[in-house]
Amino acid sequence: MLKIVFQVLALSDLFTERQQFDWMLDNFLEVQRFHPAEDDLIGQYLVVGICKAVAVVGVVGIDKLQSFQPISFVYQVYIGL
């Protein structure tokens, strides 16, 4: 799973359409939802990918975050704030 997340994040530099970032956001949120929070290695890539996708998708992407764990929880677990 780590390699897949890493490769999608690397490929996201080549994304040109908003739908591609929307797809990445949906998938990374699903992985974050079901993946153990103790796995810091995959967590760091998920946080970067989620933030990158939300920056492109915008407000629509933020609405999706409300159906999952609060983004502050992601910051606390993976960044340690």
Separation of alpha carbons 52 and 39, rounded Å: 20
pLDDT tens digit sequence for 60-81: 555 565 555 555 555 555 555 4
CB atoms < 10 A from the CB of 9, how many? Answer: 18
Q: Is the pTM of this model over 0.75?
A: no
Torsion angles phi and psi, residue 66, rounded to 5? -70, -25
The residue among 25 and 67 whose pLDDT is bigger is 25
Sequence ranges of the domains in the chain? 2-79
Spacing of C-alpha 59 from chain mean position: 15
Residue 10 has what pLDDT?
94
Residue 32 has what pLDDT?
85
Spacing of C-alpha 28 from chain mean position: 4
